[in-house]
Structure 1
Amino acid sequence: MDKGSKSLSAETAGEPVRVWDLSVRIFHWSIVTLVIAAYVTSRYNWMTWHIRLGQLTLTLLIFRILIGFWGSETARFRRFLVRPSVALAYTQSFLSHASPTHIGHTPAGGWMVITLISLLSAQVLTGLYAYNDVARVGPLFGIFSGDTSNLLVSVHGILFSVLLSFVIVHIAVVALYWLVKRRNLIRPMTTGILNLPPGSHNPRMISARRALSLFLCSVIIATLISQL
């Protein structure tokens, strides 16, 4: 059993176990909404709103990083990050119906989480320096020269295309889980509950007080970054 998550046979699943706390679920669906909204505001050149959405996204990304260290058991990086070889082996055995159900992220899923967080962070940070003829400046515009800022704008656009590619892969994998393994990954991320065999390990969940404290910390950090 790898350190990424304890695994159990899907065929014997039956007892509801909370695997995702409210903070993780709110983060997940909020990011989905914000990425769509950011795309729409960019397409229509509503740059003032686009920048505000970027700053909110930065806050949520910082929050996710914080709960990756101090959040619920299934949300912690040390819980689901495994060696790349382990993730590759899991990916190669994907079509096996005998593969286990994981409490939390799978070995490959853990690396997808890190990849998406990294791409989103780079996307947001390059946007903070962006220049636009309508909105004039991003929050941190002026730190670099005009040429460097223009380069960052180009990188910002390229990163979105890369991010979109990974999002499509993510959605495709979720669909494959349903079609090939008959496992619904959307329901647990919506309700927080996954059906597992009786007596299964119950992951430790973060308290509401700690979640709120970490979120307030993320607001402060994001505000300081935007005012550099």
Structure 2
Amino acid sequence: MMRNNQIIWDPLVRIFHALLMLCFAVAWWFEDDYLYLHLLCGSTVLGLVFFRIIWGFAGTRYSLFRDFPLASRLLLSHLKSLWQLRKNSYPGHTPAGSFMIVALLLLLLLLSLSGVAVYALQTGHGPMAGWAGAIDFQREIWMTKIHSLLADSIVLLVLLHVGGVLIESLLHKQNLPLAMITGRKSRKEREK
């Protein structure tokens, strides 16, 4: 068998990934201390999520949602093989990675929208200001708790994601974080 280095992640997916990591980390870290920075990064996350959803339908092969192995039986089989430390190769995203991407995008969308709602409830400004109506302290507390819970849930999913990437990297003897930077992932091919 020989290894073939193939471009899997296009530049837009890689830039999206880097910007999303940066903006989420900054917004999470500076949640109370620098509100303007939090709002700027949170708004950028919302824009990035909208971009990734569009790119999931109009992008390159491995960025398309239809290319994601999202069947529950594939996920269970993949998790079982990981548990048994067996290699299970996928050219693009693994089933676990695919489910993680969908979950993260959904939670990031909800997080961003809840942040817009919190801002509207606190200030009476922003795209949801009409929905917020008269500033209601109880609704503000409730929405702030939802926003915090979503952020904490995303942090947990990110830790799981990083752990999964490290396990897959060790199991397949590939540097998957580097592959996300370069776009190239090596694949084993049978020699002819």
Q: TM-score, normalised by structure 2?
A: 0.87
Contact (CA 8 Å) 1:130, 1:149: kept in 2 or not?
yes
Q: Deviations over 1:7-32 (max 9, x none)?
A: xxxxx352221111000000011100
**AA paired with 1:33?**
L
Partner in structure 1 of residue 159 of structure 2: 168
- Counterpart of 2:123 (choices 131, 136, 153) is 136
CA distance in 1, matches of 2:184, 2:139: 47
Contact (CA 8 Å) 1:34, 1:53: kept in 2 or not?
yes
CA distance in 2, matches of 1:91, 1:138: 45
Query: Is 1:17 matched up with 2:14?
Result: no
CA distance in 1, matches of 2:125, 2:80: 43
Deviates more, 1:175-184 or 1:18-27: 175-184
- Counterpart of 1:122 (choices 90, 110, 117) is 110
Identity %: 26
Secondary structure, in 3 states, of the residue corresponding to 1:143?
helix
Contact (CA 8 Å) 1:69, 1:76: kept in 2 or not?
yes
Q: CA deviation at 1:130?
A: 0.9
CA distance in 2, matches of 1:67, 1:23: 9
Query: Is 1:29 matched up with 2:1?
Result: no
Root mean square deviation of aligned Cα: 2.3
Larger relative contact order (Cα-Cα within 8 Å, sequence gap ≥ 6): 1
Unaligned residue ranges in structure 1 (runs of 5+): 1-11, 201-228
**AA paired with 2:55?**
I
**AA paired with 2:110?**
A
Q: TM-score, normalised by structure 1?
A: 0.74
Unaligned residue ranges in structure 2 (runs of 5+): none
CA distance in 1, matches of 2:102, 2:120: 30
Q: Deviations over 1:107-140 (max 9, x none)?
A: 111000000111111100000011499x835622
Partner in structure 1 of residue 71 of structure 2: 83
Cα distance change on mapping 1:13 and 1:57 into 2, 3 Å? farther
Query: Is 1:193 matched up with 2:181?
Result: no
Query: Is 1:70 matched up with 2:61?
Result: no
